[in-house]
Amino acid sequence: MKISKTLISKEEIENKISEIAETINSKYKDEELVVIGILKGAFIVVSDLAKQLQIDVTFDFMSIKSYYGSESSGQIKIIKDLEYDISNKNILIVEDIYDTGLTLSSLKKLLESRNPKSIEIFSMFVKKGVSKDPIEIDYSGFEIGPEFVVGYGLDYNGKYRELPYLALLS
């Protein structure tokens, strides 16, 4: 497998992050926010976003595994849990990509059970039309097609996360 094409450039990604950071800065200007990055894919988007936030914010990370078997679909296993108690906090879940939606919908239910004050979701990339478990995405960076993509945190067998752009493999 090789990188075949740049789908979204570094500049387009940078502009989008600035735009979303500005929206988040104005929405939470008088409120505390806990940003929750979903590892590993979201580490790059969280760090780029973080540098542009000018609000009262803390960061936490979670690592989860999703199961896609017919009986266990929608099940997630926590590999690394949050460090902070999120009860009565405003939280923003940051994900790299929203594909079938199973990961985010299960995660949202799980975090809701911990009684946060509010929950919002930011997914940097959203695969159009493939959602099986639709949930509301409050901030979405780019809508893309169903093809497998890498870069900007997304991997193929652990590789290509470091690319500053989004690319197609072939």
Active-site positions read 99
Nearest approach, Cβ of residue 129 and ligand IMP (Å): 13
Check residue 93 for interaction with ligand IMP (CB under 6 A).
no
Helix (H, G, I), strand (E, B) or coil at 155: coil
User: Which partner from the list ligand IMP, Mg ion, none does 66 bind, CB cut-off 5 to 8 Å by kind?
Assistant: ligand IMP
- Residues 95 and 42 sit within 8 Å (Cβ to Cβ): yes
Terminal alpha carbon distance of the chain: 5
21, 33, 35, 41: which one binds Mg ion (CB under 5 A): 41
Tokens of 45: 């988007």
Check residue 151 for interaction with Mg ion (CB under 5 A).
no
Check residue 66 for interaction with ligand IMP (CB under 6 A).
yes
Burial of residue 129 (number of CB atoms within 10 Å: 0-12, 13-18, 19+): exposed
From residue 32 to residue 51, the character string flagging contacts with ligand IMP as x (rule: CB under 6 A) and all else as - is: ---------x----------
Check residue 103 for interaction with ligand IMP (CB under 6 A).
yes
Nearest to 139 by CA among 60, 24, 54: 24
Check residue 141 for interaction with ligand IMP (CB under 6 A).
no
Count of positions (residues) in the chain: 170
Q: Which residues of 40-76 are buried (b: 16+ CB within 10 A; e: fewer)?
A: ebbbbbbebbeeebebebebbbbebebeeeeeeebeb
Which one, 41 or 101, has the nearer CB to Mg ion?
A: 41
Check residue 73 for interaction with ligand IMP (CB under 6 A).
no
Q: Round to whole Å and give the CA distance between 102 and 115.
A: 21
Nearest approach, Cβ of residue 155 and ligand IMP (Å): 6
Tokens of 107: 């995660």
User: Which partner from the list ligand IMP, Mg ion, none does 86 bind, CB cut-off 5 to 8 Å by kind?
Assistant: none
Residues forming contacts to ligand IMP in the complex (CB under 6 A) are 41, 66, 95-104, 148-150, 154
Residues forming contacts to Mg ion in the complex (CB under 5 A) are 41
